[in-house]
């Protein structure tokens, strides 16, 4: 009788474990399907030309400028005069996820006629597995550095009094790790980024340590930010977690592991905020 009870308990434990593994893997590898918000015009994505060595080095990646029909008349001869914002998608993310942010910024700019437009750029990582594969995460960090440098070059012909010298970064999930990783590169000008807003980003440590390369990158990033707080003090870093809605990235994981000019907040504690920025519904 005791043997039957033990066997039954073992079977139940194994069954629960298999169901849990299936649920995690199903959520982790699900296709990127984003519910796009309504916009003022038809969204369009104009590919941004990058230097040949960048295109050859990262043939599966791309940089795009988000535009709407009504914006074309706002950009004389397609010369950029707005405030540059870069969206970095996360693990298995898609570049079109930026439409939620870009649409809101467009609405804000349209309501304030005296204000400058926002030029929202978005990166295409071809659905890379940045949460599981160290080399993929490293390549995304390197590509993001090239993108930031080339975005600022697009404003070379912009009048000096409105020419931007830095950009704001909005990142989802592992995109936040990419953003912080860019600033950890020794040959990166930290003044090129003025702020990072991360949504459901596991800043503290990898969610799943399947690759030692992921752990090494996390250690390098967190060590660099801790040791160079004075250099990075001019960069505002905000981390927003999805709260109980996020079953993959908990609040503790989104905590920023260094004290300099950083704010960690839970979406459920922000007044009038609809907390949907978890890893599966952004």
Q: Kindly list the catalytic residues.
A: 173
Beta-bridge mates of residue 172: 199
Alpha helices in 29-133, H assignment, sequence order: 52-57, 99-111
Q: Is 43 helix (H, G, I), strand (E, B) or coil?
A: coil
- How would you class 102 by CB atoms within 10 Å of its CB: exposed for 0-12, middle for 13-18, buried for 19 or more? buried
Q: Are the CB atoms for 65 and 101 separated by under 8 Å?
A: no
Task: Report which DSSP code applies to 72.
Answer: G
Contacts of 258 (CB under 8 A, 6+ apart): 222, 225, 226, 229
> How far is 80 from 42, CA to CA, in rounded Å?
19
Q: What span, in angstroms and rounded, lies between the C-alpha atoms of 206 and 192?
A: 26
165 near 212, Cβ under 8 Å?
Answer: no
Nearest to 168 by CA among 226, 236, 260: 236
**Torsion sign over Cα 237, 271, 120, 46:** positive
> How many Å separate Cα 178 from the centre of its chain?
7
Alpha helices (runs of H) in 74-190, residue ranges in sequence order:
99-111, 134-153, 175-183
Cα 193 → chain centroid: 14
């Amino acid at each position: 009788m005791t043997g039957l009870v033990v066997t039954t308990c073992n079977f139940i434990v194994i069954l629960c474990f298999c169901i849990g593994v299936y649920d995690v893997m199903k959520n982790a590898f699900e296709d990127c399907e984003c519910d796009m918000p309504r916009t003022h015009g038809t969204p369009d994505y104009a590919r941004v030309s990058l230097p040949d060595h960048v295109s050859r080095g990262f043939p599966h990646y791309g940089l795009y400028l988000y535009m709407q029909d009504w914006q074309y008349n706002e950009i004389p001869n397609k010369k950029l005069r707005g405030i540059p914002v870069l969206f970095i998608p996360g693990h298995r993310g898609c570049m079109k996820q930026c439409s939620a942010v870009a649409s809101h910024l467009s609405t804000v700019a349209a309501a304030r006629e005296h204000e400058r437009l926002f030029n929202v750029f978005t990166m295409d990582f071809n659905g890379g597995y940045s949460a599981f594969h160290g080399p993929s995460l490293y390549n995304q960090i390197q590509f993001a550095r090239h993108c930031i440098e080339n975005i600022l070059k697009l404003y070379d012909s912009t009048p000096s009094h409105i020419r931007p010298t830095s950009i704001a970064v909005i990142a989802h999930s592992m995109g936040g790790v990419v953003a912080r990783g860019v600033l950890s590169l020794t040959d990166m000008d930290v003044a090129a980024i003025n702020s990072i807003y991360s949504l459901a980003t596991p800043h503290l440590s990898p969610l799943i340590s399947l690759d030692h390369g992921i752990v090494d990158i996390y250690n390098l990033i967190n060590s660099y930010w801790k040791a160079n707080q004075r250099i990075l003090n001019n960069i505002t870093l905000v981390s927003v977690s999805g709260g109980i809605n996020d079953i993959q990235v908990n609040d503790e994981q989104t905590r920023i592991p260094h004290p300099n000019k950083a704010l960690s907040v839970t979406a459920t504690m922000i007044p009038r905020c609809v907390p949907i920025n978890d890893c599966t519904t952004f």
